[in-house]
Amino acid sequence: MSNQDTIATNLARIRDRIAEAAARANRPAGSVTLVAVSKTHGPEAVAAALAAGQAVFGENRVQEAAGKFPALQAAHPALRLRLIGALQTNKAREAVRLADVIESLDRPRLALALAAAMAQEGRRPGLLVQVNTGEEPQKSGIPRAAAADFLRACREEHGLPVQGLMCIPPVDQDPVPHFRFLAELAARQGLAVLSMGMSADFEAAIACGATHVRVGSAIFGARGQG
């Protein structure tokens, strides 16, 4: 089986699992968007996924995405790119230029940088606030206790287009309490988008209300070389 066929087969399998998880949760068909995480995989892998009907992709690093996606975006107007990795403030302008959604807004300095970049570029990609639900010191994300105030500042003081929340639960814990916390916070804040769940736990995330699940290895296989 060719790599293109393998990716198409994997995508079909993941879509079926998403549909089944949504049905079990009594959620309508089409209420969960699959974000195909193509980090470390080359443009040919993205092209194979596009050929299989996938339109929404996630990348961790601005530099890698900038080298891979502009030509694909030009050739495929329906393609949507979401940046899901930690974002340096000096990359904010390039991120705003490139992405349709930035999922990793996680600190005041980045909020300021993104507001300035949007003014400079005349472009306003959607934003998700990343919450460090596990309070892990090595992980990006606004702390739980600071999330509500940070969201208010992003929306009211900086006028940022915050659409929802994102989290990455600790790998050694049950993810469900983290997903539930994020869903409850989003509901209190009137936010519609919940990006949570990856290859190993996206079905649990769907049961908790995820609107976007980020799946990489189950689609593209082991990490590529770029």
Mark the ranges of the chain whose per-residue pLDDT is less than 70: 1, 223-226
Residues with Cβ < 8 Å from 140, sequence gap 6 or more? 86, 104, 106, 130, 132
Q: Are 48 and 28 in contact (CB under 8 A)?
A: no
158 exposed, middle or buried (CB, 10 Å; 0-12, 13-18, 19+)? middle
User: Tell me: the pLDDT tens digits for 134-183?
Assistant: 999 999 999 999 999 999 999 999 999 999 999 999 999 999 999 999 99
Whole-number Å distance between alpha carbons of 214 and 198: 5
pLDDT at 3: 87
Whole-number Å distance between alpha carbons of 58 and 175: 21
| Token pair 């339109």: residue | 55
Q: Are 53 and 79 in contact (CB under 8 A)?
A: no
Q: Sketch the domain layout of the chain as residue ranges.
A: 3-220
Over the chain, what is the mean pLDDT? 96
Question: If you ran DSSP here, which 8-state letter would residue 146 be given?
Answer: G
Q: Domain spanning 3-220 has what CATH number?
A: 3.20.20.10
The upper half-sphere exposure of residue 195, i.e. CA atoms within 13 Å in the direction of its Cβ, equals 31
pLDDT at 2: 76
**What is the tally of helices (H) and strands (E) in the chain?**
9, 9
The residue among 55, 61, 37 whose CA lies nearest residue 198 is: 37
pLDDT at 225: 41
pLDDT at 222: 79
Question: What's the pTM?
Answer: 0.96
